[in-house]
Amino acid sequence: MKTIVTYGTFDLYHVGHVRLLKRLKALGDRLVVGLSTDEFNQVKKKKVIIPFAERKEILLSCQYVDDVFPENCWEQKREDLLREKADIFAIGDDWAGKFDDLGDIAEVLYLPRTKDISTTELKTVLSELSREKVQEIRNVSSHLLELASKL
């Protein structure tokens, strides 16, 4: 039984997350995810949209994920890998080199990220949409006020 452990926030679940999880599962038999808690995301300076419980439910619904545990701090990885009897620690290559110190207890791999998709980009698109929508509503309401003033 080959176990892979990875970590992340997985907010606004998207195809970049799915493709990473798929590639991770293909490396072995069991994939376990350390999911950043809402509190730890504050430490990571990430404003999460979807709360931990729902992000966990979404990950557990993914066919590639076998289990999820909370990631509460940076320092818990060694203990997690030993508990899970991890053969591989793997994560996207935006972290390349950052976790090499775990190389004495598991194989450490950094996988290429999926291009052109990220939670940050999704947030930008969504905020653009809401800005446009607000402007549209303002235009309509000022037009209605103008019409009303002529009655």
Question: Residues in the site for ligand C2G, rule: CB under 6 A?
Answer: 7-10, 16-17, 20, 36, 71, 91-92, 94, 113-114, 117-118
Q: Which of 2, 22, 25, 46 is catalytic?
A: 46
Do residues 106 and 88 lie in contact, with contact meaning Cβ atoms separated by under 8 Å? yes
Judge whether 46 counts as a catalytic residue.
yes
Compute the least distance from the CB of residue 36 to ligand C2G, in Å: 5
Compute the least distance from the CB of residue 75 to ligand C2G, in Å: 10
7 or 52: whose CB is closer to ligand C2G? 7
- Whole-angstrom distance, CA of residue 24 vs CA of residue 37: 21
Q: Which of 44, 47, 98, 133 is catalytic?
A: 44
Judge whether 25 counts as a catalytic residue.
no
Do residues 51 and 58 lie in contact, with contact meaning Cβ atoms separated by under 8 Å? no
Compute the least distance from the CB of residue 16 to ligand C2G, in Å: 3
DSSP 87-126: SEEEEEGGGTTTTGGGGGTSEEEEEPPPTT--HHHHHHHH
8 or 88: whose CB is closer to ligand C2G? 8
Do residues 19 and 114 lie in contact, with contact meaning Cβ atoms separated by under 8 Å? yes
Active centre residues (catalytic) = 44, 46
